[in-house]
Amino acid sequence: MARYDWPIESGKSPDRLIHRQENALRGNVSGLPDGLLGNLDLLDDVITANFDDDLTWLPIGPTILTNGQADGNPVVAGRVRDIKVSPDGQRVYVASANGGVWYSVNAGKKWTPIGSAGLDPSADRSDLTLTIGALFVEFGRTGGTDDPAKDIVYVGTGEPHPSIDASPGGSMGGIGILRLADTLPNALTNQRQNPWKREAKNLSRAGIFRLARNPAHALTLAGDAHLVAATSKGLLSRSGAFSEDSDWQEIKFTPDDFETYPNAYCSDVIWNAQGLWVTLVGAGALDGVYLSADGATNFRHIVLPQHDQGTRTSLGPVETAPERMYVLGSGPSATDANAGHAHLWQIDVSSPLPDNIRLVQNFPVGLFVSKVELSGVNLVLKGGNQSYYDQAIDVEHIAGKDVVTVGGSTEKKIGYNAALFRLEISDTAGVLSAGFVAANQTKAADDASFAGHGIHADVHKIISKGPVLWVGCDGGIFRRDTTGIPARAAGKSAWEAAMQAAARPLNAGLPVAEPGYVNSHPTLDGPLIAGTQDNGAIQRIGDTVWTLINKGDGGGCLFHPTIPHQRITQYIRAKWKFEPYTGDTRGPAIRRSTAAGNELLENDRANFYSQAATAQGVPPAAVPPSPAGPAPNARLFVGTDRIWYTADWANNNANPSWVTIPTMTDAYSLTAASPLLVQDQLIEGGNPDKVLAIEVLNEGNIVSTAANFVGTVILVLCQRSVRLFRFASPDGALPPVWTPLGQSIISTNSGVDRPKHKKTGNDVPNPFVPYLPNPPGAFWTDIAGHGGPAGQETFYVSTTGKVTENSNGDLVADPNFDTLWWYNGQGRWYPTGLRNSPLDPATGTGGSPAGAHSVVCDPDVPDIVYVGNRIGVWKGVIDQSGTHPSWTWSPAMEGLPQTMVQDLSVFKNSDGTYLRAALVSRGVWERDISAVPVSVGRTFIRTFAHDTGRSTLPETQRDPLTDALLNFHESPDIMVLRTGTHPWAADLPNEAVMLAQPSTANYAKAMHDVFVMAHHRHIIPVAGADMNVDVFLQKAAPAGPISGFAITSAWRTAIKEIVRGNSPAMPAGLSHLGRFNPIDPVEARTPGVVRFSLDLNFAGSNDHVMLVAVVTSPGNGLPTPDLDKANLRDIVRGSAVIAVRKIHRA
């Protein structure tokens, strides 16, 4: 989570903790004990009772996220907190922040989840979380040989510094320590089961910085161990046999119990031959490093000179010299005593303390900030000290010297890269130096020690093994091997280019992006856009591939309703950008490239993230008898602490005319300074009321008449109020006006503030209340329109609910404050019972006490509502037949990973309806909620990159990203390259590689390699041997569109019979090149690729041939109707299993 002030051109955010806490209005208590999650064992039974394979949730990416932030635009992923690498560098474990544990057997080329996949209905949910702070792995050995079956794995759940909320991108607390209770091979084979068992349950809601073991105590597969954990709750330990759900014991190393220091935490721990080392932060004068020889008693307090008290420190042990320890942290400037300068200390306990606690000189002071400037002789830090978030260190001893690699926030080279430095420590007359050149402090990326080229910013983990460097950061995992790179002295530019090229992103296949918002395309079921923490606004451009369209942070996002290649995406606050316009547009309140004055003031008054809303504009005038076409302009509603509105969002129009509602004038066009900020400002309780979300409940009149937009109704969710604005004529005469501010509030029974003493006194509904309860510690999170007649619109508001303590002091859900409320359009607020509905396996029904974060209604059946909460998705059905409404709840979680659902979106067309869920650190997932769902288990091959095989393609198709016209004969799943060495070496290309391959105008009459990709829509894979890819070569193809290739009966019969495994007579010009099968299993996350050779050196030249691929699998044959078309274009338009690539032979 980037928490510094990225320069505006890069789209990076100053999202320090206070800003994320502000965004808790979409959040919840971060670490959720059992009382706030409900009975997960009983939930297992209810899900099993309801399970319908046709409703299984499927991942739709990003499995690969291209165009990432760093030089070279690498493939990126979400936040990676920890990495463990086997001695041979091949086997790798990765702990993603909120996406669970992932494993690679081939140095990161492919990734497999360990308990992080979509869950089988029989999976045990009770000891499962995907929020990870630290890993401990002892790689297994048998007779000196690597043995994965003997790996011992422990997981520290909960990120360091868990915040008070779980807002998009936020750090969440965990549920304790997890032990891999099954062997690794079994866990990999049974990906949809939970292989973990929990201990240290008293660490629920904590963050864990590092796990360590007593080197004198052998570990066993059965769980015998002596482990310690550095956590936000102190230093805790377990010795002896594993005991499920047991507590770990606190190690007391300060004079008082740890809870005596309310702001303290243990930021690191190392246990080596010298003893147990632990760092303490936030305890005032007690901050520092502690060392105990036996790990239990006689802790020595080692005070770090010139350390900023209360700031994080990390330990860097020297493996070959256990008496020597490096400590990374922050301290005051050497010239002006300002805090926050990065410091490095060396502790050497082989000599008497404190004489051998030395501050290392010549160190990059801006490691934890985004920029350093020189003011006179003083170095001024810009962007705030991020050492609490971005901090990593690793130490090697090479050729008689300590080499220390440190990581922090960001450094700019061409783009914004990791602040990463590899420093050789020298000792001259007792003065230690890291060798960083003083003149480079303001341009640290120019220093010879800089190692962040091509690596995403925000470093959390470093492993250095000679020339090989592994980095875990906010952009996933990277590996650099500097073997063979010439010395920098041989040429700076060549060295930098080689360093960037050597930075290998290992994020393809690691689907741990962190979407907080998701929006579906208005007409196509394939494309989506999402706003993500630290990876900006992203768009789905393939099956599993997405790309960054706006770098940095990302919040709300919308497609233009009638020109959908146009989009608007939020960076943060009031900064919105129109896409694909390349100018510097930032939304209604930010009008200039360099914002200033009132623009910045209003920007600060906007919520960190929010969602806007759009509605159709007025269509062109109809020309009888032709109907009017779609409106080229759309209406757009964007919130700060007022509502901005434009009716002319048009194609490539990045400067629409903005006004504020209800006044309908542009506040920034006024000359007086005061009205600029107060015009139409939303105020509640005497404070600015920031907008969280806007929804259009009624588009109003969109006929080309004088009554344009009359009847438009928008719903606005703010931090402290819910408001409804109508565009209407109060007396029935024109012109219409918007609801005045004072009459817009509907979250109270009077439209004005209720006295504070009433806000928590009588909130118990019986069965409704005349206002929406807003108790302390609870937050409103989302809105969704439901229905109702004009003037009595009904809708839902989701909330986190209230948390209280029971008689044992445990946090539990307060049953009086529901997590979903329904407004009946007539002043009544009803709790829906989501929080209190009991789980019943016999009926397959029940709700959840966990806080809700998102809500949406089924457009086909609006009385069905879906809610995303802390552990999944729930389906509710309203019954309004009685005096008061009631709801029936059930989990809608078939195959869904158990994690927070940040946002929900629905796509609907004539072929189906699909619910999309943005999962924190697990990307976007989809559920077919059509009346007759048919998506799951389907095999397909694409004609276009966005083709899902679920709909008949239109006669003409444009690229949803660029609006370019597409050809039906250029399938992205068929790639033909001249035989030779390819960039991906001996491995097969992934989908991103195939999508990026440009079409070749002319192919030589020579040998070529052909790659064909097959897709399967299920989390249960199809074995490679069962995925058949039949490829045909058709000579004498048309030079123009493939609609010119007429289909004969003989051609249909040949294709059909070959696919069925028969040997029919082949028509002239058609040949079967073979049946091929992928090596690996094929599932929704990982398409399968086949490769074969094709000799284009046959008679003829300057002609066209076609490759026709047909993919089939068990239960997915070639339907006969697919071939009953007049021409080849119509075949590929209507078939999910046939695709074509046309080739021009030179």
pLDDT tens column, 1013-1065: 999 999 999 999 999 999 999 999 999 999 999 999 999 999 999 999 999 99
CA distance 678 to 400: 66
- Cβ atoms within 10 Å, residue 302: 19
Report CA dihedral (72, 77, 80, 84) to the nearest 10 degrees: -80
- Which of the pair, 9 or 707, is modelled with greater confidence? 707
Please tell me whether residue 8 adopts helix, strand or coil conformation: helix
pLDDT tops 80 at residue 512: yes
Q: pLDDT tens digits for 233-279? A: 999 999 999 999 999 999 999 998 898 999 999 999 999 999 999 99
Of the listed ranges 182-186, 629-633, 733-737, 1132-1136, the least confidently predicted one is: 629-633
Tell me if 177 sits within 8 A of 248, measured CB to CB: yes
Q: Where residue 583 falls among pLDDT bands split at 50, 70, 90?
A: low
Q: pLDDT tens digits for 1066-1089? A: 999 999 999 999 999 999 999 999
Instruction: Domain 63-505: give its CATH architecture.
Output: 7 Propeller (2.130)
Q: Where residue 586 falls among pLDDT bands split at 50, 70, 90?
A: low
pLDDT tops 90 at residue 595: no
When the pLDDT of each residue in the chain is averaged and rounded to a whole number, the result is 90
Strands, E, within 120-243: which ranges?
Answer: 132-138, 141-142, 145-146, 152-158, 173-180, 196-204, 208-213, 225-231, 234-240
For residue 1077, give Cα distances in angstroms to 379, 478, 1014, 1018, 1080: 61, 31, 10, 18, 9
Give the mean model confidence (pLDDT) for residues 159-187.
82
Residue 759 has a pLDDT of 44
Residue 5 has a pLDDT of 32
Backbone φ, ψ for residue 25 (5° rounding): -65, -10
Please tell me whether residue 783 adopts helix, strand or coil conformation: strand
Residue 320 has a pLDDT of 95
Residue 653 has a pLDDT of 64
Q: pLDDT tens digits for 828-865? A: 999 999 999 999 999 999 999 999 999 999 999 999 99
Phi-psi region of 361 (alpha: psi -120 to 50; beta: other; left: phi over 0): beta
Of the listed ranges 165-174, 437-446, 681-690, the least confidently predicted one is: 165-174
Instruction: Please work out, in degrees rounded to the nearest 5, the angle formed at the alpha carbon of residue 530 by the alpha carbons of 529 and 531.
Output: 140
- Cβ atoms within 10 Å, residue 667: 22
Please tell me whether residue 1121 adopts helix, strand or coil conformation: helix
The residues pairing with 869 across neighbouring beta strands, listed in sequence order, are 852
Residue 126 has a pLDDT of 77
Q: Where residue 1 falls among pLDDT bands split at 50, 70, 90?
A: very low
Tell me if 458 sits within 8 A of 534, measured CB to CB: yes
pLDDT tops 80 at residue 46: yes
Which of 598, 610, 546, 541 is closest to 573 using CA atoms?
A: 610
Q: Where residue 8 falls among pLDDT bands split at 50, 70, 90?
A: very low
Residue 826 has a pLDDT of 95
pLDDT tops 70 at residue 162: yes
- Cβ atoms within 10 Å, residue 514: 30
Give the mean model confidence (pLDDT) for residues 2-7.
31
Provide the token pair at 1131.
Answer: 């075949």
Residues 6+ apart with CB under 8 A from 248: 177, 199, 200, 202, 203, 229, 236, 237, 238
Residue 895 has a pLDDT of 93
Residue 621 has a pLDDT of 59
Strands, E, within 299-400: which ranges?
Answer: 300-302, 314-317, 324-331, 341-348, 357-359, 371-375, 378-382, 392-398
Strands, E, within 652-743: which ranges?
Answer: 659-661, 683-684, 687-688, 691-698, 713-718, 722-728, 737-738
Give the mean model confidence (pLDDT) for residues 5-22.
32
Q: pLDDT tens digits for 541-558? A: 999 999 999 998 999 999
Give the mean model confidence (pLDDT) for residues 401-407.
98
pLDDT tops 80 at residue 14: no
Q: Where residue 731 falls among pLDDT bands split at 50, 70, 90?
A: confident
Tell me if 198 sits within 8 A of 136, measured CB to CB: no
Tell me if 616 sits within 8 A of 545, measured CB to CB: no
Q: Domain 551-906, what fold?
A: Methylamine Dehydrogenase; Chain H (2.130.10)
CA distance 382 to 372: 6
Q: pLDDT tens digits for 662-716? A: 999 998 876 555 557 899 999 998 999 999 999 999 999 887 666 789 999 999 9
CA distance 615 to 634: 6
Which of 1016, 943, 1018 is closest to 973 using CA atoms?
A: 943
Backbone φ, ψ for residue 438 (5° rounding): -55, -40
Tell me if 1130 sits within 8 A of 989, measured CB to CB: no
HSE-CB for 490 with a 13 A CA cutoff: 9
- Which of the pair, 759 or 561, is modelled with greater confidence? 561
CA distance 800 to 855: 12
Query: What's the predicted TM-score (pTM) here?
Result: 0.94
pLDDT tops 80 at residue 223: yes
CA distance 30 to 163: 6
Residues 6+ apart with CB under 8 A from 547: 65, 66, 67, 538, 539, 541, 961
pLDDT tops 50 at residue 754: no
Q: Which long-range contacts (CB under 8 A, 24 or more apart) does 772-775 make?
A: 772/722, 772/747, 772/748, 772/797, 772/821, 772/823, 772/829, 773/817, 773/821, 773/829, 774/720, 774/747, 775/802, 775/814, 775/817
Please tell me whether residue 567 adopts helix, strand or coil conformation: strand
Give the mean model confidence (pLDDT) for residues 1089-1107.
96
| Domain range list for the chain | 63-505, 551-906, 938-1145
